[in-house]
A and B are shown apart, each in its own frame.
Chain A
């Protein structure tokens, strides 16, 4: 089966001097649930943001299935992607942000139906039906007509997950979905993600430092360091018998927290 995501010799620089990714290669298979872990500043968010088309790349090619994301085939060669191409490709990917980024001027329901109506072209009734199912799944039906500012962090993040799911992406990404939450809310959000993982055969790419959660949800854990994957494998192997010293150090540090 062909991968759903391929990074091929990708280089990402900021302002020409900070090189975040250098000749980066990475693949995700359909249905895989991949967890990225690693020190802060190592480039994990950048990987997700490139896939979400929030950051461009300088060299290499990123493929979603077998279509280049940041390029377009024109006269047999690859040219930089137009906004139209990016718009088309973006439909495959969804993202849940660390700080939720819900629209504060919209009700919970409107947050979820906005894009399905205006981007996917669903009727309002269809969009509302879809939203209500998702709200039920994330346990937030009662807050349908509330505004985000009246919700707790954990509730906001569950809405953000429903909002991303409503677009039916093939790949759903989470960038530290619980690191902005009070400790007592973390469990609920992780439970919701685990439920989604078991009910839908979504491909997921998750940045998290929650080891117990990673163990439950992931097929593969990648230890990410200085813009590359230093070590990867099944969670059991990475967590119990990491071979690289940097991985061991990192895991010890996370466990201590």
Chain B
């Protein structure tokens, strides 16, 4: 029994069917971690990208260092660090929030690169034409650069959505009961691992296929020349 739900061990099929509601509770946590982790990555990544391209070196260099550091160290270490070390300096967050933040931080290092590459890929001639027309910096970003960068940025960002889903099981390392964590408990209590683990694999497959399909749909709908301004 878990979350007050009993499993039926008569055979593998009944077992599988009976643990679905339990796994769905875990899936809710998986989805939650994905969505909020991704939102943090989207916002923090943009902040990193802008700070990194700031003209002041005192801003851009430390930002570069942080991005490199986050990107080149394992997520698991960052996760342990945030969960076990930060409380020592008086910062205690619940496991799920810590996990979401760790995922968001890790992925913001990736998304910041996506933003930067997307903005850089808008041809220099576009900025020059905007300058020749005396458009201000803000107006140029708003009407020229960002609308043309979005079709390059969005598909790459969306691909990280798929991979962040696949990284959520790591949160079970800090006691978060997402899908994998839940299935491990079921396995430990029933001594039957194959069924719950297979089910979790299938549920992950469903989640990633849904996300990937949404990504492809979005990609096909974005006009390549940029977001049209009439």
Q: Which residue of B lies closest to A96 (CB)?
A: B132
Q: Mark B118-141, 1 if CB is under 8 A from A, else 0.
A: 000001011011111111100100
Cα–Cα, bound, A53→B135 (Å): 13
A110 touching B133 by the CB < 8 A rule? no
**A105 touches which one: B123, B128, B229 (CB < 8 A)?**
B229
Is the pair A115, B225 in contact by a Cβ cutoff of 8 Å? no
Give the distance to chain A from B129, nearest Cβ to Cβ, in Å.
4
CA distance A253 to B225 in the complex (A): 39
Q: Check: B98 CB closer than 8 A to any chain A CB.
A: no
A148: chain B residues at CB < 8 Å are 225
> Is there a chain B Cβ closer than 8 Å to A119's Cβ?
yes
The answer to the question of B168 belonging to the interface, with a C-beta cut-off of 8 Å to chain A, is: no
Interface residues of A in 10-56 (CB under 8 A from B): 52-54
Of B99-107, B143-151, B176-184, B191-199, the one with at least 4 CB within 8 A of chain A? B143-151
Instruction: Produce 1/0 per residue, A87-113, CB < 8 A to B.
Output: 100110111010101111111001000
Q: Does A118 contact B (CB under 8 A)?
A: yes
What residues of A have a CB within 8 angstroms of the CB of B128 in the complex? 52, 54, 97, 101
Contact residue among B129, B135, B148, B227 (Cβ-Cβ distance under 8 Å from A118):
B135
Taking A101-B125, A103-B126 as contacts, is the C-beta distance between A147 and B135 under 8 angstroms? Answer: no
A136-165 vs B: 1/0 string, CB under 8 Å? 000000000001110000000000000110
Kindly state whether residue B221 has any CB partner on chain A within 8 Å.
no
> Within 8 Å CB of A118, what residues of B?
135-136, 139, 143
Contacts of B230 in A (CB 8 A): 106-107, 110
A90 touches B134 (CB 8 A): yes
By a CB distance below 8 angstroms, the chain A residues around B125 are 97, 99, 101
Q: How many residues of B contact A (CB 8 A)?
A: 24
The answer to whether B134 and A87 touch across the interface, beta carbons within 8 angstroms, is: yes
Is the interface on chain A under 10, 10 to 19, 20 to 34, or 35 or more residues?
A: 20 to 34
Contacts of B131 in A (CB 8 A): 52-54, 90
For A104, give its contact among B135, B139, B143, B148 (CB under 8 Å): B148
Residue contact A119 to B228, C-beta cutoff 8 Å? no
CB distance from A107 to the nearest CB of B (A): 6
Residues of B contacting A53 in the complex (Cβ-Cβ under 8 angstroms): 131
Query: Which residues of the partner chain B approach A90 to less than 8 Å between Cβ atoms?
Result: 131-132, 134
In the assembled complex, B169 has its CB within 8 A of some CB on chain A: no
Alpha-carbon distance A94/B144, docked complex (angstroms): 18
Given A105-B147, A107-B230, A118-B139, A147 and B225 contact (CB-CB distance below 8 Å): yes
Q: Name the contact of B148 in the complex, choosing from A91, A95, A105 (C-beta under 8 A).
A: A105
Q: Within the assembled complex, what's the spacing in Å between the Cα atoms of A78 and B136?
A: 25
For B187, what are the chain A residues with a Cβ–Cβ distance below 8 Å?
none
Q: Determine the distance from Cα of A28 to Cα of B6 in the docked complex, in whole angstroms.
A: 90
| Nearest A-chain residue to B148, judged by Cβ | A105
A64 part of interface (Cβ distance < 8 Å): no
CB distance from A214 to the nearest CB of B (A): 23
Interface membership of chain A positions 149-184, coded 1 if the CB is closer than 8 angstroms to chain B and 0 otherwise: 100000000000001100100000000000000000
- B155 contact set on A, CB distance < 8 A: none
Chain A residues with CB under 8 Å of B123's CB are 101
Q: For A95, list chain B residues within 8 Å (CB).
A: 132
Contact with B135, one of A93, A101, A115 (Cβ below 8 angstroms): A115
A132 at the binding interface (Cβ < 8 Å): no
Q: Is the CB of A105 within 8 A of B227?
A: yes
A106 adjacent to B148 (CB under 8 Å): no
* Residue in A87, A102, A105 whose beta carbon sits within 8 Å of that of B228 in the complex: A105
Shortest C-beta distance, B137 to chain A (Å), equals: 8
Q: Say whether A8 faces chain B, with CB atoms less than 8 Å apart.
A: no
Are the C-beta atoms of A110 and B229 separated by less than 8 Å?
yes
Q: Is A97 in contact with B133, judged by CB distance below 8 angstroms?
A: no
A59 within 8 A of B: no
Contacting residues, chain B, for A114 (C-beta < 8 A):
133, 135, 143
CB-defined A-B contacts under 8 Å, sample of 12 = A54-B128, A54-B131, A97-B125, A103-B143, A103-B226, A104-B225, A110-B230, A114-B143, A115-B135, A119-B136, A163-B133, A164-B132
Extra pairs beyond A53-B131, A91-B134, A167-B133 (17, CB < 8 Å): A52-B128, A93-B132, A101-B123, A101-B126, A101-B129, A103-B143, A106-B143, A106-B228, A110-B229, A114-B133, A114-B135, A114-B143, A115-B134, A119-B134, A119-B136, A147-B225, A164-B132
